[in-house]
Structure 1
């Protein structure tokens, strides 16, 4: 197994949950410490407080990955006689770094909202509110006919040409290529200083921005020419919509009362707040971890019968009633589902890369509320 540092761990994490997914001005990324230290153990937590830092010290974790940024608003001071300052002091003294993945982890496939939808057993899920659409590109490359299949296969294996449920999609036209190798060239076809005419294929494939570098590398590696002629065009179409919240359907409909009990059981909370007619039949469910007050209209536009979200405001609850949208509020802390989710995902990714790094779930309960 390969020894790794924090940079390599976070680079791998951001391949899954990139910063581009985060909403504007969300304070994500490295907040405390540095990433150039060897990292054998990472602690995953929903929130960071002094008890969580003590846990990291006890377990020997040099890096903490948290969902909620410990520095969410501008700090006016770091006083070590106060809890927050004391927490930062411990991190610095014990070389513990803190990395925050907030709304980017909400948006990421397999992130917070997908985990919540999975726990609530929702089917036919889709994004509730699109926040990021990936640019789509077309690559056109000129290849000698003798090597067209080799290059086409390399492009497909790198992920280019995937359209919906179809893979390896491409278009080709045959034409005539002309070039004259210079004196310092090492041509695959032709001789230095002599004009050459070659039958070539122009191969066209589409690909999302996220794999552009990978596809380009695969194409150049497979191409026989010393200098590859190709073009990239950004298209008007976009692909791979990502966003906040998920909307899906229950296997069977149930009353709002029974669904609220189901949410309590599945999310392991002692109580939920409910808005709506408890006897109404519901089936289409929208879910968004954390504070979802701004998204009641998005849930309604998607045709949801119920919106499951936290921190519901009094006046927003009235707005939901006026819209005919029921709401189940299990609290903000249900986002703790990300702890085990991140541990599983990163353990798998590190194993695939051969990284010697252990991910451990925090045992600290950071729910601030008590229910009586």
Structure 2
């Protein structure tokens, strides 16, 4: 049986009598996967399995990911909550619904913590996780860059063929490929919105059509030059910048900003498949807190 995992804000709004405005679900990955549970899978076993499948060698030097915190590396893993972001709502949901592991893309701890006190919002989340028996694992730029990872998933979702890596000089985490046929740029934008379930896009048009397309989930402004050098006529990313988009026509490349959340939340479906292969029940949590208003 498939059951929906709903964020706490909806229940709070319902209780208050206000009309709940639910964000769109990205790629419909807010359902639980049930199946055979592999008994005696410990946290350190899960960590080892993820480190093997998502190798640290692909991570950027400045990144901090992997095991973020655990109250007990020998604790048995019974249920895993997958999310793009480790928000306080996600952790409270995990604690209230029997999840002992939270598996995210964006690291819970990115910058060094000077102290573990409730005065800092990140440290407060770490303390809450540990106090509630929850381990947190995060896989960030290594998942972006690895073969079959974030940007291969994004390229596949947009139907790109003959894909190959491109980069910014530090990492070749971007992907570039060909659409099955040249397409009107507005039709391509409609396709992006439909596939990623994005509320809106920003378009800076340099060409009327799209064919050779570069993609990079999340914040991709540093890869624009790399996309141009790789021969892209169109570049799709989650977040670009005003200045670069304003100069898109002058640079000769169409830029499409599809939203950081929407271009990366595809990781949740990947995590569920990986967990199912390991025999671990999992579910996805919609961590998006940003609305178009």
TM-score w.r.t. length of structure 1 = 0.64
Alignment partner, residue 109 of structure 1: 147
Aligned residues of 1:20 and 1:104 also touching (Cα < 8 A): yes
**Pick aligned residue for 1:320 from 218, 230, 248:** 248
Q: 83-92 vs 62-71, which deviates more?
A: 83-92
Aligned residues of 2:83 and 2:287 also touching (Cα < 8 A): no
**C-alpha separation between the residues in 1 aligned to 2:95 and 2:151?**
30
**C-alpha separation between the residues in 1 aligned to 2:169 and 2:64?**
17
- Does residue 368 of the first structure (1) align with residue 289 of the second (2)? yes
Equivalences for residues 206-355 of structure 1 within 5 A: 243-277=172-206, 280-334=208-262, 335-348=264-277, 350-351=278-279
Alignment partner, residue 29 of structure 2: none
What's the secondary structure of 2:266's corresponding residue?
A: helix
Aligned residues of 2:109 and 2:122 also touching (Cα < 8 A): no
Gap regions ≥5 residues in structure 2: 1-37
How many aligned residue pairs are there? Answer: 254
Q: Aligned-pair distance for 1:299?
A: 0.7
**C-alpha separation between the residues in 1 aligned to 2:105 and 2:75?**
22
What's the secondary structure of 1:369's corresponding residue?
A: coil
- Does residue 3 of the first structure (1) align with residue 37 of the second (2)? no
**C-alpha separation between the residues in 2 aligned to 1:25 and 1:82?**
22
User: What do you get for the CA RMSD once the two structures are aligned?
Assistant: 2.1
Alignment partner, residue 11 of structure 2: none
Alignment partner, residue 73 of structure 1: 111
**Greater relative contact order (CA < 8 Å, ≥ 6 in sequence):** 2
Equivalences for residues 137-216 of structure 1 within 5 A: none
Q: Aligned-pair distance for 1:101?
A: 0.4
Alignment partner, residue 164 of structure 2: 126
Q: Aligned-pair distance for 1:338?
A: 0.3
**C-alpha separation between the residues in 1 aligned to 2:169 and 2:103?**
23
**C-alpha separation between the residues in 2 aligned to 1:2 and 1:80?**
35
Q: Aligned-pair distance for 1:130?
A: 8.2
**C-alpha separation between the residues in 2 aligned to 1:296 and 1:267?**
21
Q: Aligned-pair distance for 1:85?
A: 4.2
Q: Aligned-pair distance for 1:110?
A: 2.2
Q: Which has the larger radius of gyration?
A: 1
**C-alpha separation between the residues in 2 aligned to 1:326 and 1:41?**
43
Q: Aligned-pair distance for 1:41?
A: 1.6
Alignment partner, residue 16 of structure 1: 53
**C-alpha separation between the residues in 2 aligned to 1:4 and 1:311?**
38
More strand by share: 1
Q: Aligned-pair distance for 1:272?
A: 0.3
- Does residue 43 of the first structure (1) align with residue 65 of the second (2)? no
Aligned residues of 1:117 and 1:246 also touching (Cα < 8 A): yes
What's the secondary structure of 1:64's corresponding residue?
A: strand
Q: Does the C-alpha gap of structure 1 residues 131 and 58 become closer, same or farther in structure 2, counting only changes over 3 Å?
A: farther
Aligned residues of 1:50 and 1:84 also touching (Cα < 8 A): no
**C-alpha separation between the residues in 1 aligned to 2:287 and 2:80?**
18
Q: Does the C-alpha gap of structure 1 residues 2 and 88 become closer, same or farther in structure 2, counting only changes over 3 Å?
A: closer
What's the secondary structure of 2:167's corresponding residue?
A: strand
TM-score w.r.t. length of structure 2 = 0.80
Aligned residues of 2:168 and 2:223 also touching (Cα < 8 A): no
What's the secondary structure of 1:80's corresponding residue?
A: coil
